[in-house]
């Protein structure tokens, strides 16, 4: 049984890991060629400093093996673009635990939408075979002991340390009702309930409705689009990832990083299986190894595919098959797994079109459930 790792940062701990069932295929391992697609100039930052052999994490690393990929260090125009493609999910003390992608913002109403991961916002027990309900969304159960308010915010910033950057308040959360339906929510080692079985993830997405005051705002990149259901990508293809997660050299990192890694397949890749998932990782030709890139705190951050005109949001970071920064020459499966956005694009668009009020759950879309901040 192979270890899989939840790539959020627990509010109670640095990482949350649990056991899951998956297996690699027998026989000889085949490794993919390098992708042939390219990203726009200034946005392709390939992993570096990764070990050429062995199954350890190696040395210098960010996001993992992204020591040159800190958004703060790129040119001003590129920096502004990348910063508009990510937000940090933070608690009342300013600690960030997940990442998200801004999708829309209406300055007239102060309402914005961010896409993140379901496992960032759910908890509480759930029976096997049962759909998730609003009672499983725990975003609004945590109270700031100082302000006596719910601690659910988003920050758009280059460094999500100590509540820096523009802050908006999460007022409602929509998630697919099929998320983790075939498996129960079980208690992990940190005292949190979670879906710990990789093939059962099936829709690890959360659409967050965020309210901004007149003094706040959120930048949304006009070139970021929810990937259409019919979008296909060559296997493998380069995709760009963004996240505020920990790094191999800094378990307390709060800086925004970007990196280029590889999409391998949908749902199944050399023994690794899932539902509504993208199988990703990094396997540069000639190394005969797969590298895990996504780390704790990167959960919910976007996978972006460039089609020549737009950044298609194809995935949200979900689970990893091992801790970030690992290299495994013996295991042939993908090291990073993202929730596939494409099957849910139409429903996500419907929710954003229907629910334009600052508070409450005011959209009724088949296949999604919602919980709202108590008033």
Q: What is the pLDDT of residues 7-63, one digit of tens each?
A: 554 432 222 222 232 333 445 677 889 999 999 999 999 987 776 654 443 333 345
Distances (CA, A) of 252 to 70, 325, 350: 15, 15, 37
How far are the Cα atoms of 99, 104, 315, 348 from residue 160, in angstroms, in the given order?
A: 10, 20, 22, 26
Contact between 243 and 64 (Cβ < 8 Å): no
- The per-residue pLDDT for 189 is 80
Pairing of strands 224-226, 311-320: parallel
Closest CA to 174 of 80, 256, 103: 103
pLDDT of residue 39: 96
Q: To which H or E segment does residue 81 belong?
A: helix 76-83
The span from the CA of 335 to the CA of 268, in Å, is: 12
The candidate with the shortest Cα–Cα distance to 270, out of 209, 337, 219, is 337
Q: 332-364 in b/e burial notation, b at 16+ Cβ within 10 A?
A: bbbbbbbbbbbbbbebbeebbeebeebbebebe
Mean pLDDT, residues 140-149? 71
Determine the Cα–Cα distance for residues 3 and 323; give it in Å rounded to an integer. 8
- Give the SS3 label for residue 310: coil
User: What sign does the dihedral 307-346-8-323 (CA atoms) show?
Assistant: negative
Q: How far apart are CA 297 and CA 7, in angstroms?
A: 6
What is the DSSP secondary-structure string of 113-154?
EEEE-GGGTB-S-B-TTPPP-GGGB-GGG-B-TTT-SB--EE
Q: Quick one: which of 279, 291, 284 has its CA closest to 339?
A: 279
The pTM (predicted TM-score) of the whole model is 0.89
CATH class assigned to 11-19+32-372: mainly beta
Lowest-confidence region among 68-77, 99-108, 279-288, 360-369: 279-288
Domain boundaries, the chain: 11-19+32-372
Longest dimension (CA), the chain: 61
Strand pairing category for 153-156 and 224-226: unpaired
Which residues are within 8 A (CB) of 195 and not within 5 positions of it... i.e. 6 or more apart? 119, 122, 179, 180, 183, 185, 201, 204
327 pLDDT higher than 50: yes
What is residue 101's three-state secondary structure?
strand
Three-state DSSP state, 234? coil
> Is the predicted pLDDT of residue 118 greater than 80, yes or no?
yes
Distance of CA 158 to the CA centre of its chain: 17
Is residue 72 helix, strand or coil? helix
What is the residue-averaged pLDDT of the chain?
83
Torsion angles phi and psi, residue 208, rounded to 5? -100, 125
CA–CA separation, 25 and 22 (whole Å): 10
pLDDT digits (tens, 9 = 90+) for 172-223: 999 999 999 888 998 888 778 888 777 788 999 999 999 999 999 999 999 9
């Amino acid at each position: 049984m192979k270890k899989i790792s939840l790539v959020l940062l627990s509010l109670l701990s640095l990482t949350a890991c649990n056991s899951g069932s998956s297996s690699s295929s027998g026989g000889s391992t085949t490794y993919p060629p390098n992708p042939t697609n390219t990203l726009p100039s200034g946005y392709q930052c390939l992993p570096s400093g990764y070990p050429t052999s062995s199954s350890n994490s190696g040395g210098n690393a960010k996001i993992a093996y992204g020591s040159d990929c800190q958004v703060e260090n790129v040119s001003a125009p590129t920096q502004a673009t990348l910063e508009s493609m990510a937000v940090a999910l933070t608690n009342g003390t300013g600690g960030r635990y997940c990442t998200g992608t801004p999708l829309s913002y209406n300055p007239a109403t102060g309402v914005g939408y961010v896409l993140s991961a379901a496992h960032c916002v759910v908890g509480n027990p759930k029976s096997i075979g049962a759909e998730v309900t609003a009672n499983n969304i725990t975003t609004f159960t945590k109270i700031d002991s100082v302000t006596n308010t719910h601690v659910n915010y988003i920050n758009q910033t280059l460094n999500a340390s100590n509540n820096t950057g523009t802050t908006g308040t999460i007022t409602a959360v929509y998630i697919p009702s099929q998320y983790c339906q075939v498996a129960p929510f079980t208690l992990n080692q940190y005292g949190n309930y979670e879906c710990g079985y990789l093939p059962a993830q099936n829709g690890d997405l959360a659409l967050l409705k965020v309210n901004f005051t007149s003094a706040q705002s959120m930048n949304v990149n006009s070139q970021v689009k929810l990937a259409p259901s019919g979008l296909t990508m060559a296997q493998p293809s380069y995709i760009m990832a963004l996240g505020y997660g920990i790094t191999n050299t800094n378990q307390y990192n709060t800086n925004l990083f970007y990196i280029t890694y590889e999409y391998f397949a949908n749902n199944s890749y050399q023994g690794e299986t899932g539902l509504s998932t993208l199988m990703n990782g990094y396997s540069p030709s000639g190394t005969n190894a797969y590298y895990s890139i996504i780390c704790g705190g990167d959960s919910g951050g976007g996978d972006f595919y460039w089609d020549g005109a737009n950044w298609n949001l194809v995935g949200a970071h979900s689970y990893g098959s091992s801790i970030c920064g690992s290299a495994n020459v013996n295991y042939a499966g993908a090291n990073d797994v993202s929730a596939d956005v494409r099957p849910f694009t139409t429903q996500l668009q419907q929710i954003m079109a229907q629910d334009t009020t600052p508070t409450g759950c005011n959209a009724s879309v088949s296949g999604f459930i919602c919980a709202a901040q108590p008033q």
